[in-house]
Chains A and B, each alone.
Chain A
């Protein structure tokens, strides 16, 4: 077994307390050194109004920076508790090292972490500010849009085809696949329930209405939020932290018109188009169940869907997807443009964008469903 690299002895003479350290002190010994010193200091008897002791270092053969930092940290910690700790007998090297780490001086403390109540208060204020910032941003966007109508060249139209390709064409497969799977799930679950009442023939209506009115628009919007909304927040966030957004402003270019409006226009048109595709594939998903489990023919299923879905169902579903598209772009761009703090800030903005958009989508979908049910659509 290895010999301990150092020893610590507590000596007391004429009311003076001496902690005698000997041996080699380094990072390896740090844990034991720290614990032993703290225990020794804590066990000091009160001496008058103030407790005090001397750490005798004459027997220290070698001291590394980490050990010096620990000793100085202990000295500072003790000072705050009203215990005076002095170093004595140190060699020139050890003295220099202790001085380098600020022995004998008062070391500034990091700002204390706010208490629980303060943190709750700060988090609430941040949440309120965050909730308020999106409508404010939407308002500034309306002003920018008004200016853009007077000067259409100020919108970066050349970016729009590329943005549409990335948001729309590149997302066709995943949007189609997920909606098809949703149709399958809905078909299977619906069929199991309908079978109990001998109402399998209503499967096309059930799947069709669910997909066209709710699940198609919502699932498509969720996918676009995850794919494209996150990308917008990260892209604009990176531009913000690398001062590209500031550069735009100093060139006299409005970031809203240059960066945000092309993205809002893109998603305003692409989300409904993707929704239509999602609706069709969702219905095909239900059809796959109907045809394989209940021997429904293609024509019969299609006819059932046609009878089940009214044009107003398509209007409400596709209509709200226009709103969803704009909502995703606005929230994602707002989060991106308010990014602060480098790469970590971009990560936070992207997460915040996706979470906020998902929450807003579900909340607004509920709102739309409630309004449509009130007006009998």
Chain B
């Protein structure tokens, strides 16, 4: 089957300096794909490039067979949940979820409200429709962020650090939600994370990035990488061993 996301020879960087090169991977439809790596390895930078917020230095990104879309000119082919939810602070949760529907559909107001409420129910936020983001917890913000990302029924969902900063129970609930979205709704999920428990539970495939190598150092199923990886950094990551980082070059 044609992959929903195809990344070829991607080079990403900041201020004209490449930080990761040769990023190559495919994401199969309906799967949960994790981008792993230690703090500061460039996971979120890769994500920003995948979702079109940054321009790659070279290489290609295809979503559903189409090159990277121009943001703002057509309905987005994917949804994104940012690390802190990135909900609009002046809007209620329902208004947050309704916003993309108002922009990209001709649905009447009542229908938009019904869809927005249904999305919030899906992420277990029924009853919180009229709450402002400032009045809910971090985990709820992330779920509301997922509800907003799902508003236009995207086939592909990007999640930035979904488990970061959550207690184990809330984190587990969020993992369940990701699995539901993937298994029940058939949504492909690409997530950036370094939470091992969450990765083993939800991810079908993963790649691991490394700052020193400047590229992907492992690609496969999380359990296989844990059990069979030979790369010392990959082994250290999956077995929670301390890795020695050299001092930064002056």
Residues of A within 8 A of B (CB): 106-112, 153-154, 238-239, 242-244, 246-254
Contacts and interface: CB of A to CB of B under 8 A. Distances in A.
B104 interface: yes
A242 B86 CA distance: 6
Q: Please indicate which of the listed interface residues A239, A246, A250, A253 has the most CB atoms of chain B within 10 Å of its own CB.
A: A250
Contacts of B82: 243, 246-247
Contacts of B74: 252
Contacts of A110: 250
B83 interface: yes
Contacts of B80: 246-247, 250
Contacts of A253: 72, 99-100, 103
Contact of A242 (B71, B78, B84): B84
A247 B74 CA distance: 15
Contacts of B73: 252
B103 A154 contact: yes
Given A108-B247, A247-B82, 19 more contacts: A108-B250, A110-B250, A154-B103, A239-B88, A243-B84, A243-B86, A244-B86, A244-B87, A246-B80, A247-B80, A247-B87, A250-B51, A250-B53, A250-B76, A251-B76, A252-B75, A253-B99, A253-B103, A254-B72
A153 B103 CA distance: 8
A355 B70 CA distance: 35
A109 B103 contact: no
In the complex, which of the residues A239, A244, A249 has the most CB atoms of chain B within 10 Å of its own CB atom?
A244
A251 B154 CA distance: 11
A252 B104 contact: yes
20 contacts: A106-B247, A107-B247, A110-B250, A239-B89, A242-B86, A243-B82, A243-B83, A243-B86, A246-B86, A247-B80, A247-B148, A249-B72, A250-B79, A251-B100, A251-B151, A252-B72, A252-B76, A252-B100, A253-B72, A253-B103
Interface string B132-169: 00000000000001001001000000000000000000
Most chain A CB within a 10 A radius of its CB, from B71, B100, B249: B71
Query: Max chain A CB contacts within 10 Å: which of B71, B72, B84?
Result: B72
Contacts of A252: 71-76, 100, 103-104
| Pairs of residues from A and B, 9 with the lowest C-beta to C-beta distance, nearest first | A108-B247, A247-B86, A243-B86, A250-B80, A243-B82, A254-B72, A251-B100, A252-B76, A249-B71
A309 to B, nearest CB: 42
Contacts of B79: 250
A250 B99 contact: no
B14 to A, nearest CB: 12
Given A108-B247, A109-B250, A251-B76, A246 B103 contact: no
A251 B52 contact: no
B16 interface: no
A246 B88 CA distance: 11
B234 to A, nearest CB: 26
B223 to A, nearest CB: 31
Nearest to A102: B247
B127 interface: no
A112 B51 CA distance: 36
B248 interface: yes
Contacts of A238: 89
A111 B247 CA distance: 12
A252 B69 CA distance: 10
Contacts of A244: 86-89
Contacts of B247: 106-108
Contacts of A153: 103
Nearest to A159: B90
Contact of B103 (A111, A243, A251): A251
Interface in B87-113: 87-89, 99-100, 103-104
A171 B148 CA distance: 35
Contacts of A111: 250
Nearest to A106: B247
Interface in B37-83: 48, 51-53, 71-76, 78-80, 82-83
Nearest to B160: A243
A120 to B, nearest CB: 21
B115 to A, nearest CB: 15
A76 B83 CA distance: 40
A110 B249 CA distance: 9
A238 B249 CA distance: 33
B98 to A, nearest CB: 11
A342 B82 CA distance: 16
Given A251-B100, A252-B100, A108 B84 contact: no
Contacts of A254: 72
A108 B100 contact: no
Contacts of A106: 247
A109 B103 CA distance: 52
A364 to B, nearest CB: 31
In this complex, the member of A154, A243, A248, A252 whose beta carbon has the largest number of chain B beta carbons within 10 angstroms is A252
B126 to A, nearest CB: 23
Contacts of B100: 251-253
Contacts of B103: 153-154, 251-253
A108 B72 contact: no
Nearest to B101: A251
A86 B32 CA distance: 55
Contacts of B248: 108
A350 to B, nearest CB: 17
Given A242-B86, A252-B71, A252-B74, A112 B53 contact: no
A244 B134 CA distance: 14
A2 B70 CA distance: 74
